[in-house]
Amino acid sequence: AQKVTQAQTEISVVEKEDVTLDCVYETRDTTYYLFWYKQPPSGELVFLIRRNSFDEQNEISGRYSWNFQKSTSSFNFTITASQVVDSAVYFCALSEMGSSGSARQLTFGSGTQLTVLP
Amino acid sequence: DAGITQSPRYKITETGRQVTLMCHQTWSHSYMFWYRQDLGHGLRLIYYSAAADITDKGEVPDGYVVSRSKTENFPLTLESATRSQTSVYFCASVGTSGALAKNIQYFGAGTRLSVL
């Protein structure tokens, strides 16, 4: 069975601080996908990143960066110089990889509520 | 408009009533999913479908029924609503080809359901 743990239920930072959201996963699959989604106060789910299990390169996109470490089963997300608009719930998720490389149903963590104060 | 749409956005019903939540996608994606979101649990999978007429249970299927007669529609029915089914329901589909990035689930805006 798959499991995703986001131990940080709530984080509060002051604007311009850096913040890291932790994600630890468990799976018996040797190939899989990892995702981060953002859920702003408006409620929709916004895709941020997808990583496959055989690509451990870290990724940076603007103020966002992701650190994938297969050895520790972690896929952490860092926001640099946080802004008030970053306030949201962030979900980490895991999907098995189907035989054709396609993604399947997601197993979500319980989410981390990030509040960025002005 | 292209995308994945859910209706209604908000629904209030009473215990014991039947409720159907609609999900429609315009991308012709094969895979579609229903999740429910509850505080402290993140999103949990209710049912999913690999193609028209192929459905399977997820983590929390009890009390729900799905059907998929057409690729673009995936309705979720609560046959006899209970208070424990008060939740936010999200429909999703997987982008595997075309304009959308591959293997990424795209979500509808959600349906907020209250069972009184």
Average pLDDT over residues B46-69: 94
Amino acid B67: pLDDT: 95
Q: Could you report the per-residue pLDDT of A58-100, keeping only the tens digit for each?
A: 888 899 999 999 999 999 999 999 999 999 999 999 998 776 6
Across the interface, do A102 and B96 touch by the CB < 8 Å criterion? yes
Q: Which residues of chain A are within 8 Å of residue B40 when distances are taken between CB atoms?
A: 110
How do beta strands B10-13 and B111-115 pair?
Answer: parallel
Q: Could you report the per-residue pLDDT of A18-68, keeping only the tens digit for each?
A: 999 999 999 998 889 999 999 999 999 999 998 888 888 888 889 999 999
Taking the CA atoms of residue B67, residue B16, residue A108 and residue B40 in that order, the dihedral angle to the nearest 10 degrees is 170
Across the interface, do B40 and A110 touch by the CB < 8 Å criterion? yes
Amino acid A35: pLDDT: 94
B29, two tokens: 């994606």
Let me know: does B73 contact B6? Beta carbons within 8 Å: no
Amino acid B40: pLDDT: 79
- Percent of chain B scoring above 70 in pLDDT: 93
Across the interface, do B109 and A44 touch by the CB < 8 Å criterion? yes
Taking CB atoms and an 8 Å cut-off, how many pairs form between chains A and B? 58
Amino acid B100: pLDDT: 56
Query: CB atoms < 10 A from the CB of A29, how many?
Result: 13
Average pLDDT over residues B34-38: 96
Amino acid A97: pLDDT: 78
Average pLDDT over residues A98-105: 71
Q: Which residues of chain B are within 8 Å of residue A103 when distances are taken between CB atoms?
A: 94, 103-105
Let me know: does A61 contact A51? Beta carbons within 8 Å: no
C-alpha closest to that of B110 among A88, A11, A51, A40: A40
Amino acid B10: pLDDT: 97
Q: Which residue has the tokens 């399947």?
A: A104
